[in-house]
């Protein structure tokens, strides 16, 4: 048995408000605890999107009633809400600012670069900006961070050209950090037929699964990758198998077992795990210490991933049938056993907003 600190997932979609048939703060934070995750940062591309005081209230009220682990809620950058200097109350309550600079699921997207500057200028420098920006738009986001002399965190990098550019930017002292998702480390576009089971929508995710060469480049440049994040993006199996399948994979419950299997295979070290699922994430996102919080994992337990055993409401996983190693036995969150042997023990409402911790 090994003991890990509470894991942090800085990129989840909990679908509340607006799409609670896919997930909500209750089912999503249950999935988190089952995966050993004690802090989730929830994305703002909900219905309505979270982008002002009223919509932030909606999400935070739902989270307060229902979350079983600790949480933060991002606000989204829109065309009309960049006046963050006069909306300090919102920025103080949020996990960070999410900027959608590329194709995505939902309504939040900033196509015009003139809309980017006021967000980079006005969002508080000690709070994170997370950019969904792929390839060239990622290069542009890094340039904006350099011009405004502030940090930017690049969500879910997946390409060789991206990891190499971030490496070069870091070497020049630009304040850029990045995350990688397990599905971009363990799957390539060659795996799409096996995931799909005849339903091509199941292989749809943004960023798309990349080439083997891209996947290899991520592994080779592991020291450039600051943290791991799931981009837990649940959609129901009937939505995935429809004529207009939304992109996204669930990931909270497969996160740690996939990573620990890579440790077992000698591709990662336990130091990598602690740095990229806890220490670095905590630093980048300016998160509080969770006292008396830890995760007990049976690192040798071998089992098969089955969607039917998961707490996520979406009821499928791209990793169905994968044989993995490492099972979460127990999660203690702020002195209370929150999960043990397959049972969620923390009540809805036990979770706290990481921006109002004390």
The residues that touch ligand NCD, with contacts defined as CB under 6 A, are 13, 45, 104-106, 132, 205-206, 231, 233, 246-248
Q: Which does 349 bind (CB under 5 to 8 A by kind): ligand NCD, Zn ion, none?
A: none
Strand duo 294-304 + 323-333: pairing: antiparallel
DSSP conformational letter for 52: S
Q: Which does 158 bind (CB under 5 to 8 A by kind): ligand NCD, Zn ion, none?
A: none
Nearer Cβ to Zn ion, position 23 or 231?
Answer: 231
Q: Which does 10 bind (CB under 5 to 8 A by kind): Zn ion, ligand NCD, none?
A: none
Report the nearest approach of ligand NCD to the CB of residue 91 (Å): 21
CB 185 within 8 Å of CB 215: yes
CA-to-CA separations, 263 to 206, 246, 296, in angstroms, rounded: 26, 32, 16
Q: Which does 206 bind (CB under 5 to 8 A by kind): ligand NCD, Zn ion, none?
A: ligand NCD
CA-to-CA separations, 254 to 98, 137, 182, in angstroms, rounded: 24, 29, 9
236 burial type by CB count under 10 A (0-12 exposed, 13-18 middle, 19+ buried): middle
Nearer Cβ to ligand NCD, position 105 or 322?
Answer: 105
Nearer Cβ to Zn ion, position 152 or 344?
Answer: 152
Report the nearest approach of ligand NCD to the CB of residue 290 (Å): 26
If you write DSSP's letter for every residue of 314-336 in order, what string do you get?
T---TTTT-EEEEEEEEEEETTE
Report the nearest approach of Zn ion to the CB of residue 89 (Å): 25
3-class DSSP state of 274: helix
Q: Which does 253 bind (CB under 5 to 8 A by kind): Zn ion, ligand NCD, none?
A: none
Report the nearest approach of ligand NCD to the CB of residue 65 (Å): 22
Nearer Cβ to ligand NCD, position 19 or 176?
Answer: 19
Q: Which does 205 bind (CB under 5 to 8 A by kind): ligand NCD, Zn ion, none?
A: ligand NCD
Nearest-CB residue to Zn ion? 231
Nearest-CB residue to ligand NCD? 248
Report the nearest approach of Zn ion to the CB of residue 253 (Å): 17
Residues found near Zn ion in the complex (CB under 5 A): 231
Nearer Cβ to ligand NCD, position 45 or 82?
Answer: 45
Residue with tokens 């009821």: 315
Report the nearest approach of Zn ion to the CB of residue 233 (Å): 5
Q: Which does 68 bind (CB under 5 to 8 A by kind): Zn ion, ligand NCD, none?
A: none
301 burial type by CB count under 10 A (0-12 exposed, 13-18 middle, 19+ buried): middle
Report the nearest approach of Zn ion to the CB of residue 231 (Å): 4
Sign of CA dihedral 103, 104, 109, 114: negative
Nearer Cβ to Zn ion, position 55 or 261?
Answer: 55
CA distance 82 to 301: 49
Strand duo 176-180 + 152-154: pairing: parallel
3-class DSSP state of 204: coil
Nearer Cβ to ligand NCD, position 205 or 338?
Answer: 205
189: left (phi over 0), alpha (psi -120 to 50) or beta: alpha
């Amino acid at each position: 048995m090994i003991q890990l600190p509470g894991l942090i997932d800085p990129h989840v979609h909990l679908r509340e408000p607006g799409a609670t048939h896919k997930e909500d703060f209750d089912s999503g934070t249950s999935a988190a605890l089952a995966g050993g995750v004690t802090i989730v940062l929830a994305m703002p591309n909900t219905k309505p999107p979270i982008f002002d005081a009223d919509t932030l209230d909606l999400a935070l009220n739902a989270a307060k009633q229902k979350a079983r682990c600790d949480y933060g809620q991002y606000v989204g950058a829109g065309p009309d809400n960049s006046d963050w200097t006069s909306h300090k109350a919102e920025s103080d309550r949020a996990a960070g600012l999410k900027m959608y600079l590329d194709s995505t699921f939902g309504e939040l997207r900033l196509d015009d670069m003139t809309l980017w500057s006021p967000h980079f200028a006005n969002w508080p420098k000690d709070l994170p900006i997370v950019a969904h920006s792929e390839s060239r738009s990622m290069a542009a986001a890094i340039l904006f961070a350099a011009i405004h002399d502030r940090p930017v965190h690049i969500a879910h990098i997946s390409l060789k050209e991206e990891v190499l550019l971030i490496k070069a930017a870091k070497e020049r002292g630009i304040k850029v950090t990045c995350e990688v998702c397990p599905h971009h480390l363990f799957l390539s576009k060659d795996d799409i037929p096996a995931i799909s089971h005849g339903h091509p929508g199941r292989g749809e995710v943004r960023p798309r699964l990349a080439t083997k060469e891209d996947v290899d480049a991520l592994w080779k440049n592991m020291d450039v990758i600051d943290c791991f994040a799931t981009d837990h993006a649940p959609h129901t199996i009937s939505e995935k198998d429809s004529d207009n399948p939304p992109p996204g994979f669930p990931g909270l419950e497969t996160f740690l077992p996939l990573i620990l299997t890579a440790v077992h295979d000698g591709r990662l070290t336990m130091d990598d795990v602690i740095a990229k699922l806890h220490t670095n994430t905590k630093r980048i996102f300016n998160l509080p210490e969770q006292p008396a919080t830890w995760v007990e994992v049976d690192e040798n337990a071998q089992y098969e991933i089955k969607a039917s055993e998961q707490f996520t409401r979406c009821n499928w996983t791209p990793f169905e049938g994968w044989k993995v190693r490492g099972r979460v036995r127990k999660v203690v969150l702020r002195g209370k056993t929150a999960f043990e042997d397959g049972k969620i023990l923390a009540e809805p409402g036990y979770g706290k907003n990481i921006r109002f911790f004390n």
